[in-house]
């Protein structure tokens, strides 16, 4: 039986994160070595290539099977960049052409900007690093951004969130193309957890403070200092020196959230701090951030971060 060669390409564009380019290559190389073991009956072989675009001509600059034929790439990965979103519109025709030929396109972190620029994500779900949430929503409103997800797999297009999510993407591709046994072997060898799905518990609330509305900023500073106190929207409007409706409208415009949502985010963030740096009981923490009913705090925490307070403490506590 003839071997099936699956080519996994990595786009090595200017300022691409080289640790991701080489790390993915090593990860796929380990999967290939697993497939080569005598006890494995798989006929699959992995070909790993790096690609660059020069004067609109795409070419392999690294290839683990240089004598293989030039069959269609199975997957092309756009890795992250530590220099911010890449401004490489010239790559869009190359990506579009590959996609039309059946190549699976994948991105990590800001690599998704290239996919979005190509129009291939229009009307589809995608993710990227949580800190680019506002930028991508503004720049690419036609994309259905789901930033809480670490991986969004549309079958033919896969997007991964944070900079190090290349490990999750790589393992997911190994599982799809080489099977779960191969993926688990690689993850154990590299001391990596199997692919995760969410990144929202890494993304703590950062309030908008550069909006220029001094009255609303005064309220925000007060809330930061008094978050555990009972409050009403009417009291906050009086603090801002505004009529109630005017205050609500200006607060929503400046902060991007209504007052209730904003306070919930502040309280969850303060709860995260106390869970991470103290050993206070969760009931006490709930009270210190403004919840007399610890059950309400636990439900809000779980809904916001996808982890219970106890799970968050076990994962992120400095004493763990």
Q: Which helix (H) or strand (E) holds 28?
A: helix 18-35
Q: Which residue has the higher pLDDT, 24 or 58?
A: 24
Give residue 210's pLDDT: 72
For 8-15, what is the mean pLDDT? 95
Alpha carbon dihedral 260, 266, 268, 271, in 10-degree steps, equals -140
The pLDDT confidence band at residue 41, using thresholds 50, 70 and 90, is confident
Residue 122: helix, strand or coil by DSSP? coil
CA atoms of 51 and 298, how far apart (whole Å) = 48
* Contact indicator for 26, 167 with CB cutoff of 8 Å: no
CATH number at residue 186: 3.40.50.880
CA atoms of 3 and 32, how far apart (whole Å) = 13
Range(s) of the domain holding residue 154: 4-202
98, part of any domain: yes
Give residue 319's pLDDT: 63
187, part of any domain: yes
- Looking at the fold, whether 177 and 242 belong to one and the same domain comes out as no
* Contact indicator for 129, 110 with CB cutoff of 8 Å: yes
The pLDDT confidence band at residue 15, using thresholds 50, 70 and 90, is very high
CATH number at residue 251: 1.10.10.60
- Looking at the fold, whether 76 and 195 belong to one and the same domain comes out as yes
* Contact indicator for 40, 3 with CB cutoff of 8 Å: no
Residue at a domain's end among 202, 234, 251: 202
For 20-33, what is the mean pLDDT? 96
Tokens of 276: 């991470």
- Looking at the fold, whether 149 and 129 belong to one and the same domain comes out as yes
- Looking at the fold, whether 164 and 236 belong to one and the same domain comes out as no
- Looking at the fold, whether 36 and 98 belong to one and the same domain comes out as yes
- Looking at the fold, whether 195 and 107 belong to one and the same domain comes out as yes
Residues 6+ apart with CB under 8 A from 55: none
309, part of any domain: yes
Sign of CA dihedral 25, 108, 166, 8: negative
For 238-258, what is the mean pLDDT? 95
CA atoms of 66 and 169, how far apart (whole Å) = 25
The yes-or-no verdict on residue 158 having pLDDT over 80 is: yes
Q: What is the pTM of this model?
A: 0.73
Give residue 3's pLDDT: 67
173, part of any domain: yes
Give residue 7's pLDDT: 94
The yes-or-no verdict on residue 150 having pLDDT over 70 is: yes
Convert the pLDDT of each residue in 174-217 to its tens digit: 988 898 889 989 999 998 887 776 777 676 777 887 788 989 98
- Looking at the fold, whether 259 and 190 belong to one and the same domain comes out as no
Residue at a domain's end among 177, 202, 227: 202
Convert the pLDDT of each residue in 85-96 to its tens digit: 988 888 999 999
Sign of CA dihedral 128, 134, 136, 140: positive
The yes-or-no verdict on residue 230 having pLDDT over 80 is: yes
For 221-244, what is the mean pLDDT? 91
* Contact indicator for 156, 98 with CB cutoff of 8 Å: no
208, part of any domain: no
Length of the chain: 320
Sign of CA dihedral 138, 142, 146, 150: negative
- Looking at the fold, whether 193 and 238 belong to one and the same domain comes out as no
**Other beta carbons less than 10 A from residue 126's beta carbon:** 25
- Looking at the fold, whether 226 and 177 belong to one and the same domain comes out as no
Residue at a domain's end among 179, 202, 225: 202
Edge-to-edge order in the sheet of strand 104-108: 57-63, 44-54, 4-11, 75-78, 104-108, 157-160, 151-153
Instruction: Give the chain's mean pLDDT.
Output: 90
* Contact indicator for 108, 78 with CB cutoff of 8 Å: yes
184, part of any domain: yes
- Looking at the fold, whether 241 and 280 belong to one and the same domain comes out as yes
The pLDDT confidence band at residue 320, using thresholds 50, 70 and 90, is low
89, part of any domain: yes
109, part of any domain: yes
- Looking at the fold, whether 182 and 237 belong to one and the same domain comes out as no
Number of domain units in the chain:
2
- Going by the DSSP 8-state scheme, the letter that residue 162 receives in this structure is S
Convert the pLDDT of each residue in 262-304 to its tens digit: 999 999 989 998 998 889 999 999 999 999 999 999 999 999 8
The pLDDT confidence band at residue 317, using thresholds 50, 70 and 90, is confident
The pLDDT confidence band at residue 1, using thresholds 50, 70 and 90, is very low
Kindly report which listed range (3-7, 159-163, 302-306) carries the lowest average pLDDT score.
3-7
- Looking at the fold, whether 246 and 130 belong to one and the same domain comes out as no
Residues 6+ apart with CB under 8 A from 315: 201, 307
């Amino acid at each position: 039986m003839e071997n099936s060669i699956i080519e996994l390409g990595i786009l090595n564009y200017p300022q691409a994160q080289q640790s991701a380019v080489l790390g993915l290559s090593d990860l796929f190389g380990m999967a290939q070595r697993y497939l080569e073991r005598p006890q494995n009956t798989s006929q699959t072989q992995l070909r790993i290539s790096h690609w660059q675009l020069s004067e609109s001509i795409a070419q392999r600059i690294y290839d683990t099977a240089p004598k293989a034929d030039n069959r269609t790439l199975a997957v092309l990965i756009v890795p992250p960049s530590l220099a911010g979103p890449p401004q490489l519109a010239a790559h869009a025709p190359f990506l579009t052409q590959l996609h039309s030929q059946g190549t699976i396109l994948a991105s990590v972190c800001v690599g998704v900007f290239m996919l979005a620029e190509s129009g291939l994500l229009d009307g589809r779900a995608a993710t990227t690093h949580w800190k680019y949430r506002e930028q991508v929503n503004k720049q690419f409103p036609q994309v259905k951004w789901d930033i809480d997800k670490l991986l969004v797999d549309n079958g033919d297009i896969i997007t991964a969130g944070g900079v190090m999510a290349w490990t999750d993407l790589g393992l997911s591709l190994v599982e799809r193309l080489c099977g779960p046994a191969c993926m688990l072997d690689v993850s154990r060898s590299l001391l990596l957890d199997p692919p995760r799905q969410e990144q929202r518990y890494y993304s703590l609330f950062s309030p908008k403070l550069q909006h220029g509305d001094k009255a609303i900023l005064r309220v925000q500073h007060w809330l930061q200092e008094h978050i555990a106190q009972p409050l009403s929207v009417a009291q906050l409007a009086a603090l801002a020196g505004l009529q109630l409706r005017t205050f609500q409208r200006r607060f929503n415009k400046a902060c991007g959230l209504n007052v209730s949502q904003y306070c919930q985010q502040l309280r969850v963030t303060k709860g995260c701090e106390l869970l991470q740096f103290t050993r206070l009981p969760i009931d006490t923490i709930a009270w210190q951030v403004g919840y007399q009913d610890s059950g309400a705090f636990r439900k809000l925490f779980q809904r916001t971060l996808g982890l219970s307070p106890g799970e968050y403490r076990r994962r992120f506590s400095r004493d763990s």
